[in-house]
Amino acid sequence: MAEFSHIPAVQNTLNISSLRDALIKAGLNQSGLAEKLKVSREAVSKWLTGESFPQPDKLLRMGMLLGLAFEQLVIRQPPTAMPVVSFRKKAHRKTKDEHLDGARETGELLKRLVKYLPRQELTRPPTLKDPTVAYQYAQDVASQVRKEMGLEKKEIIEFKDLIEKFNALHAVIIPVLWGERLHHGNALNIHLPDSQTTWVFLNLDSNAVDFKFWMAHELGHSLAPDLDGETGEDFADQFAQALLFSENHAAKLRPDLANIGNVGARIARVRKEADKHIISPYTIRRALQAYEQARNLSKTHLGEMTVFMASTTNFAKGYKTVAQTFFKETPKPREYVAAARSHFNSLFFDALAEFCKREEGADHFIHRVLGVSLADARALSRELRA
């Protein structure tokens, strides 16, 4: 039985049927097993619902206690690739190892939903071959995406355009209510290499201006799922900027700004343009700077960054959060699910509903995947089973 100490947890699952039978024969319940193994009852509960896997020493003691050989207690699974994760973190917050570990754990849980997706969602549409962070490359990709979306002659990208492109890429959108301050990130992209599926969490508790950029940013990740780390973030940022405010937009705006002598008036002009596109003035400033640098043009002076960012912050305050546009108050499970389906065409809750009806541990699964309280997870689980 020494084999117990050499098996990586992520490659195996407990044989729950054999384990439950052995517990009955031994006259033990979950509390009794927890006491024998000197772990919490919650830990045992998670083992039995498939939410976690015992450490090697606990697995060995469990097998000895219940008289089960490794082959009877554990179902071997082939090695799986680690989820590729990328955060759109909140400003000034550093992504730590604990955040990455938590996101990868969420990715491991999402693997259990893959089999409940429609068949077409299990295929991967064409993605970028050799993505780079070069300015012209991002512009070319954004231009191509606009053509694919049928938006060559459309000046402004709308929310529904981005959602349609996500669905065309078979990316699973997961609208979440993470709050405005408490959660580490405002968006999370998880790519599962084994199933070639991409899952995009979007925080509805964000103002419309930021939300739109984050959607475009996550679309960039979906187009280049194999890029991770800083390179992946840089590409996604450049793509979002090029898609929402292209080189053509920058070229048209620059002469207007050059004819305005006062810096404050220039900033007001940028804010007016930002309001038209429903994007941040900062996105326009960066687009102008990138365009001027790439074309060796003189820099448009838009004042000190601290002053400009203060203006940008006030600009964003003029927009409601996405959740506030959907709901008058904290939504009930039925309203939340209905909004996800109607506004985002999200297939996530269809897959989750099948999971709730067919598998155990749905409450804890929802609690961990969506980051909601256990009480809210139970209410959502009941709604999806109805």
Length of the chain: 386
For residues 200 and 172, the answer to whether their CB atoms sit within 8 Å is yes
Interval 174-186: pLDDT, tens: 999 988 655 545 7
Please state, in angstroms and rounded to a whole number, the distance separating the CA atoms of residues 33 and 40.
9
Predicted local distance difference test score (pLDDT) of residue 15: 84
Predicted local distance difference test score (pLDDT) of residue 163: 93
Interval 229-280: pLDDT, tens: 788 889 999 999 999 999 999 999 999 999 998 999 999 999 999 999 999 9
Please state, in angstroms and rounded to a whole number, the distance separating the CA atoms of residues 86 and 355.
25
Predicted local distance difference test score (pLDDT) of residue 11: 56
Q: What is the mean pLDDT of residues 164-172?
A: 89
Query: pLDDT band for position 86 (50/70/90)?
Result: confident
Interval 54-64: pLDDT, tens: 888 888 999 99
Interval 350-381: pLDDT, tens: 999 999 999 988 999 999 899 889 999 999 99
Q: What is the mean pLDDT of residues 331-340?
A: 94
Structure tokens at 258: 């050059």
Q: What is the mean pLDDT of residues 190-214?
A: 90
DSSP state of 155: S
Predicted local distance difference test score (pLDDT) of residue 208: 92
Structure tokens at 121: 């969602």
Predicted local distance difference test score (pLDDT) of residue 4: 36
Interval 1-43: pLDDT, tens: 333 333 333 457 788 878 888 888 888 888 889 999 999 988 8
Predicted local distance difference test score (pLDDT) of residue 8: 37
Q: Amino acid identity of 213?
A: F
Instruction: Decide the pairing of beta strands 12-14 and 84-89.
Output: unpaired
The answer to whether residue 75 scores a pLDDT higher than 90 is no
235 sits in the region (left: phi over 0; alpha: psi -120 to 50; else beta) called alpha
The answer to whether residue 311 scores a pLDDT higher than 70 is yes
Predicted local distance difference test score (pLDDT) of residue 181: 55
Helix-helix angle 41-48:30-37, to 10 degrees: 120
Query: What is the pTM assigned to this prediction?
Result: 0.74
φ, ψ of residue 255 to 5 degrees: the values are -65, -35
Alpha helices per DSSP H over the chain: 16-26, 30-37, 41-48, 56-66, 70-73, 97-110, 135-148, 159-168, 208-223, 229-244, 247-258, 263-277, 281-294, 305-317, 322-326, 333-344, 348-358, 362-370, 374-385
Interval 96-144: pLDDT, tens: 677 788 888 899 899 999 999 886 555 667 788 889 999 999 999 999 9
Predicted local distance difference test score (pLDDT) of residue 326: 93
The answer to whether residue 287 scores a pLDDT higher than 80 is yes
